[in-house]
Structure 1
Amino acid sequence: MEHEKVNILLVDDQPAKLLAYEVILKELGENLVVASSGREALEFLLKNEVAVILVDVCMPELDGFELAAMIREHPRFQKTAMIFISAIQVSDFDRLRGYEMGAVDYVPVPVVPEVLRAKIRVFAELYRKTRQLERLNTELEDRVRARTAELEQSTTRLVESEQRRSMAIAAGKMGSWDWDWINGDWMWDEGQYKIFGIEPGTLDVTSSNIQTLFHPDDVDGLRQAWGEFTKGAKSYETEFRIVRPDGEIRWCVGTAAASIDKDGRVVRVSGVTVDITDRKRAEERQSLLTREVDHRAKNALALAQSIVRLTRAQNMNAYVKAVEGRITALARVHTVLSLSSWQGAEIRRLVAEEVAPYSGAGQIQIEGAEVQLQPATAQTLALALHELVTNSAKYGSLSALAGRLAITWEVESDTLILAWVETGGPAVTKPTSKGFGTRSVIASIETQLGGQADFDWRKEGLICRLTVPLRSAISSDTSQYREMLAQDRQAMTSRVG
């Protein structure tokens, strides 16, 4: 280790003596600091660490004894080595006084260089070793604290891990087992019994009995995995099913590792079983949802295609407006169904969404009990309502400020009966032929939902009664539009609409 220099403070009011001390002590290779008065020495001490103080006894203002007393009063310098130098013959009383003030030695004048260097060297080295020990002790304490913190963290992680394992076991999600390969003995913990749905002590845990608990289709795979241990495999992981005594099938993942003796033979196999049934069910639900979304997307696209191909209009602007209106209606019901994760739609919200553009003037009355519609029923009914409200806005009660529209419904024997009653609008005459809107309503309600659509063209206003079964629908695809397409194929012309 490189020599670590320490500070040696030389205190004397005579420059010649200070120079002499510097010459004598220079070969020690330490930092020599001179002070010509006690006050100057104190100023240096307050800012620096000092290994040894060499101080003259006889000085003006503060003599050596007074300076030593003041130095010792400071807690930082209570153990600092001080050597007195006296040019006069000192008595035993003076020596005793010096020692009481904190001196560790006396050096008489004339100074013997070898003696002074030897004394200073001893105290400087003692100071250096003391500081090294302090640093080593600090480092050791830091290491102990770091190691203690590391052990505490490790213990915390171990406790947390054990708590998670205990929670998993308590929840019946994880278990462990041990199999003596030599004599065939098995050991199951509490979690293993819970996974298999068996009360501890009610099953003789043997290889043959355990095999009966596995799903028949997975037994061969597990046998093959165990057989790999005889071929040198050290571990395996596989998914399998078990059949509980009550007939419930559960999915598990098993991990096992083999213990080998000095001859390379398997002596023991230990493993962990984790119940992953919930994960498997979630994966199945996700897969089902993906297929359902794909199916509904294809249906929506097919329905939009049918709307585009079957819509009739007198000009391009009318055609675009009609197509946009029908596709917007489809989008609205799609949004309602999406908010319910495609579980269904509440009829009041469905009706309100379709008539919302015309409800600001207070012309529309909506009344009926809460009814949850199946997705296919909601989608089809929304398009039928769109055709009715569009027709009413063009030719019926919603085309006049005095017109009124009442939409009411009730449920009888799992059948929805919705009444659409218009009054106060222009006089109504029964059309000589059914337009696209009317045929669309009839086709969607009767062909797709297996219901019935009745139109009463009264002079006072249209009454339409829709009867829809709530528990089943004939089809969830676009069959009504395909049927209408076949009926209109002959009427299609090169003109738009």
Structure 2
Amino acid sequence: MDQEKVNILLVDDQPAKLLAYEVILKDLGENLVIASSGREALEVLLKTEIAVILVDVCMPELDGFELAAMIREHPRFQKTAMIFISAIQVSDIDRLRGYEMGAVDYVPVPVVPEVLRAKIRVFAELYRKTRELERLNHELEDRVRARTAELESSTAKLRESEQRRSMAIAAGKMGSWDWDWISGDWMWDDGQYRIFGVGPESFEVNPANVQALLHPDDVDQLRKAIAEFNKGTRAYETEFRIVRPDGEVRWCVGTAAATVDERGRVVRVSGVTVDITERKRAEERQNLLAREVDHRAKNALALAQSIVRLTRADEVKDYVSAVEGRINALARVHTILSLSSWQGAELSRLIDEELAPYSLGDQIRLAGPEVQLLPATAQTLALALHELFTNSAKYGALSTRSGRLAIDWQVEDELLTLSWEESGGPLVMTPKSRGFGTRSLLASVESQLGGQAQFDWRAEGLLCRLEVPLTRKTATAGLGKFDTGGSAELQRASG
């Protein structure tokens, strides 16, 4: 491969000598640059990269020593090789002065061509090698910088990925762990500590301490997992419970995978733990809700069956109207209860729903505090209020524009007392026998809710007083009684 030529500067004030140097050095195959004075040599140096300077010591204006001193002052040329040529005998002092000025060698006159070519060749090759080393060094530095940048970028991406993983683990209530099967050493990340409710500063991760945090009924899961891995299983998943130091029980699902050596022996087990407590609780709520829906559906069907079976009318049209009214009353209270997720219903809301079909204006007066009824109490009381409103709209105060109805209620010692007072309607006479509405109202309030219903058939209007316990024990007991024998209760009331 052809070598890159280097520049050799020849400095002498005598053209004949310059020509002689050119002839001698031509065979080197390098670029020869001519300067006939020190100042011209300086101009060349500022424009051209020079490998070796061959300079005459004795020159007018600037001699070789002065030129060498000026060259060495410039940072670019502090390492440029300079060879002095002297036609006079040079003393040791002059030689030392020349070396101090930066000379690397002396060539006496007359010049021996072979010696001069050898010296120039050595310094030219040294310059070439130095430049090659510098180039290689720059390339190496560039590669190091590029590699460093790649590593920094890779590290940043890895750090970012780890941060995302940590965030995902934290958001997903996950933890990761690693178990050295040979040494028994464990490694937990922050998520694992968080799930178990312990901290790395106070909890030493080892089989005994981990087992102590497992629910007693689930300790065998750990033993079973170890046994499976010893049998050659490579992956294992199971659900288990932990008991945190504060006593809280958490549900988890654990997934583990084994790493084996060249002989197939387990050397390491790594895994992920996921806290599924909320999911378990949601499943429990869902199961409870399903049972509750089934229970309420049966209650509603029992009520509907009782309404259909016990409703009496002389004509089919009246029968259908009565059944539809009672079923609609049941549907309205179910809507109210569903809006509260079956937590209960307000008494005033039940009354408003029953009033909705009538345009009564100022005929009705309501007074009473906010009362929250249990679902069972709300269902039964809604049907009782429906019977009172229906009876009043057909035969009582609400059947005429002059009629008035006052509904007052109050609560004392968990007992709801509701007063129904009609006035201004048709003349009221005490009935000779109780109709279905009255019988069903008595049955529902007294038999199902454990309360009392009192009727006073005054001439000026019906006065009814209902007393209904609001405690959960009484209300649920009544509901259970209605579920199993509600129709029978109504039948006995109609008998």
TM-score category of the 2 structures, normalised to the smaller one:
0.5 to 0.7
Residues 137-172 of structure 1, C-alpha deviations (whole Å, 9 max, x = no match) = xxxxxxxxxxxxxxx9xx989947743533643x69
Provide the residue aligned with 1:485 in structure 2.
491
Corresponding residue SS for 1:357: coil
Amino acid at match of 2:251: W
Provide the residue aligned with 1:476 in structure 2.
479
Deviation at 1:222, TM superposition (A): 2.6
Provide the residue aligned with 1:301 in structure 2.
301
Residues 409-449 of structure 1, C-alpha deviations (whole Å, 9 max, x = no match) = 11111211111110100111111222111111111111111
Map of 1:161-310 to 2, 5 A cutoff? 162-163=163-164, 165-166=166-167, 168-169=169-170, 173-310=173-310
Q: Is the 8 A contact 1:181 1:268 kept in 2?
A: yes
Q: Is the 8 A contact 2:374 2:470 kept in 1?
A: yes
Q: 1:443 to 1:322 in 2, by over 3 A?
A: same
TM-score scaled by length of structure 2: 0.65
Q: 1:295 to 1:214 in 2, by over 3 A?
A: same
Amino acid at match of 1:357: P
Residues 88-121 of structure 1, C-alpha deviations (whole Å, 9 max, x = no match) = xxxxxxxxxxxxxxxxxxxxxxxxxxxxxxxxxx
Identify unmatched segments of 5+ residues in structure 2. Answer: 1-152
Larger Rg: 2
Residues 369-406 of structure 1, C-alpha deviations (whole Å, 9 max, x = no match) = 11111111111100000000011111110111100111
TM-score scaled by length of structure 1: 0.65
1:362 paired with 2:362, answer yes
Provide the residue aligned with 1:431 in structure 2.
431
Q: Distance in 2 between matches of 1:168 and 1:440?
A: 60
Amino acid at match of 1:189: D
Corresponding residue SS for 2:246: coil
Q: Distance in 2 between matches of 1:321 and 1:216?
A: 62
Map of 1:137-156 to 2, 5 A cutoff? none
Q: Distance in 2 between matches of 1:373 and 1:328?
A: 19
Amino acid at match of 1:227: A
Deviation at 1:226, TM superposition (A): 2.2
Q: 1:483 to 1:160 in 2, by over 3 A?
A: farther
Deviation at 1:360, TM superposition (A): 3.6
Q: 1:300 to 1:156 in 2, by over 3 A?
A: farther
1:461 paired with 2:461, answer yes
Deviation at 1:175, TM superposition (A): 1.3
Identify unmatched segments of 5+ residues in structure 1. Answer: 1-151, 492-497
Deviation at 1:209, TM superposition (A): 1.6
Q: 1:298 to 1:164 in 2, by over 3 A?
A: farther
Q: Is the 8 A contact 1:172 1:194 kept in 2?
A: no
Q: Distance in 2 between matches of 1:161 and 1:286?
A: 36
Q: Is the 8 A contact 1:172 1:191 kept in 2?
A: no
Provide the residue aligned with 1:443 in structure 2.
443
Map of 1:306-455 to 2, 5 A cutoff? 306-455=306-455
Q: Is the 8 A contact 1:178 1:186 kept in 2?
A: yes
Q: Is the 8 A contact 1:414 1:471 kept in 2?
A: yes
Q: 1:209 to 1:358 in 2, by over 3 A?
A: same
Q: 1:466 to 1:168 in 2, by over 3 A?
A: farther
Deviation at 1:480, TM superposition (A): 3.9
Corresponding residue SS for 2:357: helix
Deviation at 1:486, TM superposition (A): 4.3
Corresponding residue SS for 2:264: coil
Aligned length: 337
Corresponding residue SS for 1:358: coil
Deviation at 1:221, TM superposition (A): 2.3
Q: Is the 8 A contact 1:358 1:398 kept in 2?
A: no
Q: Distance in 1 between matches of 2:414 and 2:165?
A: 50
Q: Is the 8 A contact 2:414 2:470 kept in 1?
A: yes
Corresponding residue SS for 2:320: helix
Q: Distance in 2 between matches of 1:408 and 1:156?
A: 72
Amino acid at match of 1:465: R
Superposition CA RMSD, Å: 2.2
Q: Distance in 2 between matches of 1:207 and 1:286?
A: 36
Amino acid at match of 2:191: G
Corresponding residue SS for 2:378: helix
Q: Is the 8 A contact 1:253 1:274 kept in 2?
A: yes
Q: Distance in 2 between matches of 1:211 and 1:356?
A: 63
Residues 57-92 of structure 1, C-alpha deviations (whole Å, 9 max, x = no match) = xxxxxxxxxxxxxxxxxxxxxxxxxxxxxxxxxxxx
Q: 1:437 to 1:157 in 2, by over 3 A?
A: farther
Amino acid at match of 2:262: K
Q: Distance in 2 between matches of 1:276 and 1:439?
A: 53
Amino acid at match of 1:462: L
Q: Distance in 2 between matches of 1:270 and 1:218?
A: 20
